[in-house]
Amino acid sequence: MENVVIELKVRNHPGVMSHVTGLFSRRAFNLEGIICRRVGDGSTSRMLLLVHDNQRLEQVVRQLENLRDVISVSCTRGGEGPFSSIQ
Amino acid sequence: MRLNGAEIIVKLLERQGIATIAGIPGGANLPLYNALYKSPIRHILARHEQGAGFIAHGMARSTGRPAVCFATSGPGATNLITAIADARLDSVPLIAITGQVPTSMLGTDAFQEVDIYNMTIPITKHNFLVRSAAELLSVIPEAFEIALSGRPGPVLIDVPKDVQTQEIDVYGWPEIGERLPSPPIDTDAIARAAAMINEAKRPVLYAGGGVMNSASHAVLREIADKNSIPVALTLMGLGCFPPDNPLYLGMLGMHASPYTNLLLDEADLLIAVGARFDDRAVGRVQEFCPEAAIVHIDIDRAELDKIRKAHISMACDAGEALSALLPLVRIDERREWRSRLALLREEHPFPAPRDGSQHPLSIIAGIAAAAPEDAIITTDVGQHQMWVAQGYPFTRPRTLLTSGGLGTMGFGLPAAIGAALANPGRRVVCVSGDGSIQMNIQELATLADLGLPVTVIVLNNGQLGLVRQQQELFYGGNYIASRFETRLDFAAIAREFGISGKSIRTGEPMAAGLARAFADGGPCVVDIGVETEPNVYPIVPPGAANRDMIGGETYGKRCN
């Protein structure tokens, strides 16, 4: 199955990680990896999510876009991006 | 101006136009109540936080405006959860404000501490744990904006006690939170959809709660009439199309009329408007409208292509899309399709009971005859709910308030109280069953406090009727845990609460009994004894295709 790296720009506050990961567990969509850290002045964070592509990915991306704290979503298909350096 | 957090919350709620709040005080939200003491906002003291939540539902669902409920931390907050989840599934703008233990004690398992923030993530549109009084100035208006914008839904605001008591200088008030403009309509997609409608031979409109939320029932009717498109409604959409219109198909799905599901089976174009292909509506999804191309209009983009891939999908306001479609759709009489509908309706009609029978559907018809035309009907969940959906002629939107997505027993009574609060002068009827009414029966005390014109009709069969029905049809008649050992007299119970109570026993004239109940200006509970045997028919077995309906032919015969 093809890997997809979902890149999120999110508002940085204590609950945002729960909102994002909760969405995946609730929709029974597996997360293969997560990287997150704050960027810039700390008001936003960059979050990278590694998932396997399947027909429900588009639905999950749309649900992510619905989250109030998610500012932007983009997907990169093929490869593991920065996740390949974590063993 | 030096104000504490609680005073800021109450002031901001006043500015939002909130006139009534339902709730229950407790240790962690007492500062909020102290601020309410000085406010013109009316507080409704419920007897259980779930009751408070559903009173807010009644206000919000009957008006389309956001409604607020209060609860304290811990059990107060967890008791709200069902009402919040219900608001999420039925797209209701509910604002729940909970007290929380002081910030310094968060995470210490303090008395009445639960992590309601994390617990409500999957059941809210968004939620907040407020860390300072200053944050409230942005959080409260934002909560209203979120609850109202796009697809409406619930927002929870958890406010630690020290945030409620923290004093800050307030130099000015923020703009109130309002519904944001809907995403623009895609005129190209509208044109393509109009062309598909004009070319279709057998189109059907499938309309849901989104039509109600966008108040587009009038333009829905115009499109249907102009192009002769039959209209099926979801449970949430009932009231959005006139039941006496020959194009009306009633509710579709699990408990639809046979001809409705059979006509949908033959459709070559399905126009889904503000509906989400719920399993109770579409049955086995692969076999729903198998021959139809699909146009899907919904303001929530995440609903598009979720269950069924659409040929044209539009994430926009249902009313704006329908208004844009209207001039592009041509006048068409569709004689062939109309006569097909007429034939199916004649050959596979809704299996109505005989006039004057004691079947619950006859009781529903009696209620409709006795109630004023602008009455608001709330239901609980079970057989009576489906009989109301099948049999009550709803002629305007927001006159049926029912727990559709979550299916919460106990919804009806508090929702009726809320509807009566928000609609002075209108009669509200809660149709319930003896199983459901017991789930929030304590709210009869709230109703007695308020003396509102709410008529509660309890169809009392001593059973969890819809459970019993499923055990009969799908579990070989192995009845377990579906019959109550103790039969209750809800008229007597009502009187103990200080509310007028009437009984109509099996065999008594129904019309006269109902007329007596409605003659009463104030609250009244009517206990109507009904037989155990009547089932809700037709029924599509769970997981089956909608054309595979069981029964209904025997309506009226069982209850002679």
Q: What is the Cα–Cα distance from B243 to B394, expressed in whole angstroms? A: 7
The number of angstroms, rounded, from the C-alpha of A43 to the middle of its chain's C-alpha atoms is: 18
Q: Is a pLDDT exceeding 80 seen at residue B560? A: no
What does the block give as tokens for B180?
Answer: 């944001």
Q: Is a pLDDT exceeding 80 seen at residue B456? A: yes
- The torsion region of residue B252 among left (phi > 0), alpha (psi -120 to 50) and beta comes to beta
Whole-angstrom CA distances from B58 to B179, B185, B401, B419 are 20, 31, 7, 4
> Pairing mode, if any, of strands A44-52 and A33-39?
antiparallel
Give me the residue spans of the domains in chain B.
2-169, 187-347, 360-529
Instruction: Find the closest chain B residue to A66 by CA distance.
Output: B302
B83-111 tens-digit pLDDT: 999 999 999 999 999 999 999 999 999 99
Count of pairs with CB atoms under 8 A, one residue in A, one in B = 32
pLDDT of residue B487: 94
pLDDT of residue B336: 98
B127-180 tens-digit pLDDT: 999 999 999 999 999 999 999 999 999 999 999 999 999 999 999 999 999 999
Are A22 and B122 an interchain contact pair (Cβ–Cβ within 8 Å)? yes
- The torsion region of residue A44 among left (phi > 0), alpha (psi -120 to 50) and beta comes to beta
pLDDT of residue B215: 97
Residue A85 included in any domain: no
- For residue A37, the cross-strand partners are A46
Are B305 and A59 an interchain contact pair (Cβ–Cβ within 8 Å)? yes
Residues of B contacting chain A (CB within 8 angstroms): 117-118, 121-122, 125-127, 129, 146, 300-302, 304-306
B20-30 tens-digit pLDDT: 999 999 999 99
Closest Cβ opposite residue B129 in set A15, A65, A67: A15
Chain A CB contacts of B306 under 8 Å are 59
Q: Is a pLDDT exceeding 70 seen at residue B263? A: yes
Q: What is the CATH number of the domain that holds A69?
A: 3.30.70.260
Give the mean model confidence (pLDDT) for residues B34-41. 98
Q: What is the Cα–Cα distance from B161 to B29, expressed in whole angstroms? A: 7
pLDDT of residue B553: 57
Closest Cβ opposite residue A62 in set B121, B122, B301: B301
Residue A84 included in any domain: no
Q: Does A15 touch chain B (CB under 8 A)?
A: yes
Q: What is the Cα–Cα distance from B263 to B292, expressed in whole angstroms? A: 11
The answer for residues whose C-beta is within 8 angstroms of residue B329's C-beta and 6 or more apart is B194, B197, B198, B223, B226, B227
Assign a CATH topology to domain B360-529: Rossmann fold (3.40.50)
Instruction: Find the closest chain B residue to A24 by CA distance.
Output: B122
Q: Is a pLDDT exceeding 90 seen at residue B558? A: no
Record the pTM: 0.96
Closest Cβ opposite residue B126 in set A22, A23, A68: A68
Instruction: Find the closest chain B residue to A56 by CA distance.
Output: B306
Are A18 and B305 an interchain contact pair (Cβ–Cβ within 8 Å)? no
Is the link from the previous residue into B327 a cis peptide, with omega within 30 of 0?
no
- For residue A9, the cross-strand partners are A46, A72
Q: What is the ipTM of this complex?
A: 0.92
- On the question of a common fold for B187-347 and B360-529, the answer reads yes
B186-228 tens-digit pLDDT: 999 999 999 999 999 999 999 999 999 999 999 999 999 999 9
Q: Is a pLDDT exceeding 60 seen at residue B363? A: yes
Give the mean model confidence (pLDDT) for residues B371-380. 96
pLDDT range class, residue B512, cuts 50, 70, 90: confident
pLDDT range class, residue B286, cuts 50, 70, 90: very high
Residue A45 included in any domain: yes
Closest Cβ opposite residue B302 in set A59, A68, A69: A59
Chain A CB contacts of B126 under 8 Å are 67-69
pLDDT range class, residue B358, cuts 50, 70, 90: confident
Residue A29 included in any domain: yes
Q: Does A22 touch chain B (CB under 8 A)?
A: yes
Instruction: Find the closest chain A residue to B120 by CA distance.
Output: A19
Are B302 and A18 an interchain contact pair (Cβ–Cβ within 8 Å)? no
- For residue B541, give the 3-state DSSP assignment: coil
pLDDT range class, residue B556, cuts 50, 70, 90: very low
> Pairing mode, if any, of strands B269-273 and B248-251?
unpaired
Q: What is the Cα–Cα distance from B538 to B235, expressed in whole angstroms? A: 15
pLDDT of residue B505: 81
Residue A74 included in any domain: yes
Whole-angstrom CA distances from A32 to A24, A37, A48, B190 are 11, 17, 11, 40
Compute the nearest-CA separation of A19 from chain B (Å). 6
Domain B2-169 belongs to what architecture?
3-Layer(aba) Sandwich (3.40)
In words, the CATH class of domain B187-347 is alpha beta
Are A59 and B126 an interchain contact pair (Cβ–Cβ within 8 Å)? no
What is the identity of the amino acid at B119?
A: M
Instruction: Find the closest chain A residue to B150 by CA distance.
Output: A66
List the one residue out of B133, B79, B70 whose CA is nearest residue B98.
B70
pLDDT of residue B552: 57
Domain that holds residue A74: 3-79
Chain B CB contacts of A63 under 8 Å are 302
Q: Does A59 touch chain B (CB under 8 A)?
A: yes
Mean pLDDT for all residues in chain B: 95
- Among B88, B100, B103, B126, which would you mutate to test the A interface (most chain A Cβ atoms within 10 Å of its Cβ)? B126
Instruction: Find the closest chain A residue to B129 by CA distance.
Output: A15
Residue A35 included in any domain: yes
Give the mean model confidence (pLDDT) for residues B390-397. 96
Q: Give the residue ranges of chain A where pLDDT is below 70.
A: none
pLDDT of residue B410: 98
Question: Which helix (H) or strand (E) segment is B389 a member of?
Answer: helix B383-391
Are A58 and B127 an interchain contact pair (Cβ–Cβ within 8 Å)? no
Q: Does A62 touch chain B (CB under 8 A)?
A: yes
Q: Is a pLDDT exceeding 50 seen at residue B31? A: yes
Q: How many domains does chain A have?
A: 1
Instruction: Find the closest chain B residue to A27 by CA distance.
Output: B122
Closest Cβ opposite residue A62 in set B122, B127, B302: B302
Sign of CA dihedral B459, B460, B464, B466: negative
Sign of CA dihedral B377, B382, B387, B389: positive
Q: What is the Cα–Cα distance from B272 to B214, expressed in whole angstroms? A: 14
Residue A87 included in any domain: no
Say what angle helices B49-63 and B75-89 make with each other, to 10 degrees: 30
What is the identity of the amino acid at B271?
A: I
